[in-house]
Each structure stands twice: as C-alpha cells, then as structure tokens.
C-alpha cells in the first residue's frame, strides 16, 4: 500500500462511493479503479491524500471485510 502525492492525476480518476453511502455526509471513502491499482480517498477531503493499493491487496481486503461482516 502506498500513499500517493497530491497530484492532478488523482483528480482525473473516476471516483465512486458505495451505494450504501447516504447523503448525510457521514464517514465515507471513495475508490477509483485502474488496471494497476485501487485508489482510496476520504470523500470529505477529495484534495487530500490518496492510498494506492495493488489489486491483489484490495481483493484480499474485500474478502476479509465480507467474511467478517464489518
């Protein structure tokens, strides 16, 4: 997992939130998927830091989260 520098590259990605995220302004993250990585950022701070996670690491996280029912 790497922290991307704040660049215009992260702004050019197609960001999306979970369909379970409401409009209440809660604690949400946004993700943008590319062939090389999954990018994750705080939806309340789109100009802030972005985590870049390799696809295999993201898949492992999703499996863990689904199995843990968190």
**pLDDT per residue as tens digits for the range 8-59:** 455 589 999 876 666 666 678 899 999 999 999 988 888 899 999 999 999 9
* DSSP secondary structure of 11-66: HHS--B--TT--SS--S-EEEEE-SS-EEEEETT-TTS-EEEE-HHHHHHHHHHHH
Joined tokens for residue 11 = 């702004």
Is the pTM higher than 0.75? The answer reads no
């Amino acid at each position: 997992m790497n922290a991307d520098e704040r660049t215009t590259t992260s702004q050019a990605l197609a960001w999306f939130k979970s369909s379970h995220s409401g409009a209440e302004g809660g604690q949400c993250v946004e993700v943008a998927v590319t062939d090389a990585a999954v990018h994750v950022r705080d939806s309340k701070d789109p100009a802030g830091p972005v985590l870049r996670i390799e696809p295999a690491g993201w898949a492992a996280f999703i499996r863990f989260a689904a199995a843990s029912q968190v």
